[in-house]
Amino acid sequence: MDDVRKPIKWMGGSKAVLASFPKAVIQEAGYQLDRVQLGLQPDDFKPMKQLGKGIRGIEEVRIQDADGSGIYRVMYVARFEDAVYVLHCFSKKTQKTTQRDKDITVKRYKAMVEERSQK
């Protein structure tokens, strides 16, 4: 494998939100995103399939605090050759993803599609 990394394109406020997470979570997210940039799968991820018609290719990196008290997610799209698009980062208290977080992810996905269509 050659060591070619896709650049990350941060959509909306995803980078600022990630930067607000605990240091250990930021480091783990960085490691997992590095794997994605290299074309590898994150250690713990899940495809997001039920976000709406025409919404495809979104996956989430799943991160948990060392003590298990916090749950963190990084939603991204890596199917394009030019970049990994980080759509949304958030924390939650349960395994269920809120409708608000799904809506933000879909909104940024649509913005990504629009941005890519203007290239």
pLDDT digits (tens, 9 = 90+) for 14-27: 999 999 999 999 99
Tell me the sheet residues that pair with 60.
46, 75
pLDDT digits (tens, 9 = 90+) for 53-75: 878 889 999 999 877 778 999 99
Structure tokens given for 65: 């605090």
In this structure, what are the phi and psi dihedrals at residue 48, rounded to the nearest 5 degrees? -100, 105
pTM, rounded to two decimals: 0.91
d(CA 79, CA 112): 12
Res. 2: pLDDT tops 70: no
- 87, 103 Cβ separation under 8 angstroms: no
CA atoms within 13 A on the CB side of 9: 17
Q: Does domain 8-117 have CATH number 3.30.2310.20?
A: yes
CA angle, 119 then 83 then 88, to 5°: 105
Q: Delimit the domains of the chain by residue range.
A: 8-117
